[in-house]
Amino acid sequence: MLKRGQFYFIAAFIIIALLSGLSIIYTSIKTGNENVDINEIVKEIRYEISQLIDNRVIAGVNDNQIADNIKEVSAYYKNRHDLDAIAVYGDESIAYIINSTAVTRSIPISSGSKRIVKLQLSNEYEFEMKENHKNLYVIALREKDGERAVAVE
């Protein structure tokens, strides 16, 4: 008689486990990529790159290697957020224009008393390269559904 009660108890336990397992599977959902504001992304990119530059300068790494590391950060954001991140990094003597695929060296031109780098995308952008320290500017471009969003930091 006691074995019969154990059988019903085990059978009830198995049925409850199956039903709860099915309800967990049934209520699961999938989420798509979140739509993050491009202005927030460009701030994040600038912060990441500035931390990278600080760490590399402290370690004594040269500007060419820093530019290659910035290119890797740009490639990461291209894959993660489907946008083009372009960084302008350098000083008054040389500037690096960096995106996810290439590093281009440029010499800032004089414009009055300032040294600037011009960058031609859909619009022309000018960045002042100040003396005696490294400058960093970041542009993020995203084209989605025929709309183009641009953020500069």
Domain shared by 58 and 109, yes or no: yes
What is the reported pTM? 0.74
Domain shared by 44 and 1, yes or no: no
pLDDT at residue 28 is higher than 90: no
Look at 33 and 72; give whichever has higher pLDDT: 72
Domain shared by 9 and 84, yes or no: no
Domain shared by 79 and 15, yes or no: no
Q: How many domains does the chain have?
A: 2
| pLDDT for the residue 19 | 78
Domain shared by 73 and 134, yes or no: yes
Residue 107 lies in domain: 38-152
| Average pLDDT of every residue of the chain | 87
| pLDDT for the residue 68 | 94
The pLDDT of 22-37, averaged and rounded, is: 63
Domain shared by 18 and 64, yes or no: no
Look at 22 and 8; give whichever has higher pLDDT: 8
Domain shared by 23 and 48, yes or no: no
- State the DSSP code for 121: S
Domain shared by 8 and 59, yes or no: no
Domain shared by 46 and 4, yes or no: no
Domain shared by 50 and 123, yes or no: yes
Domain shared by 4 and 77, yes or no: no
Buried b / exposed e over 69-101, threshold 16 CB at 10 Å, is bbbebbeebeeebebbbbbbbbbbeebbbbbbe
The pLDDT of 55-61, averaged and rounded, is: 91
Domain shared by 57 and 106, yes or no: yes
How does DSSP assign 47-108, residue by residue? HHHHHHHHHHHHHT--HHHHHHHHHHHHHHHHHHHS-EEEEEEE-SS-EEEE-SS-EEEEPP
Summarised one tens digit per residue, pLDDT across range 65-119 is 999 999 999 999 999 888 999 999 999 999 999 999 999 999 899 888 889 999 8
pLDDT at residue 48 is higher than 70: yes
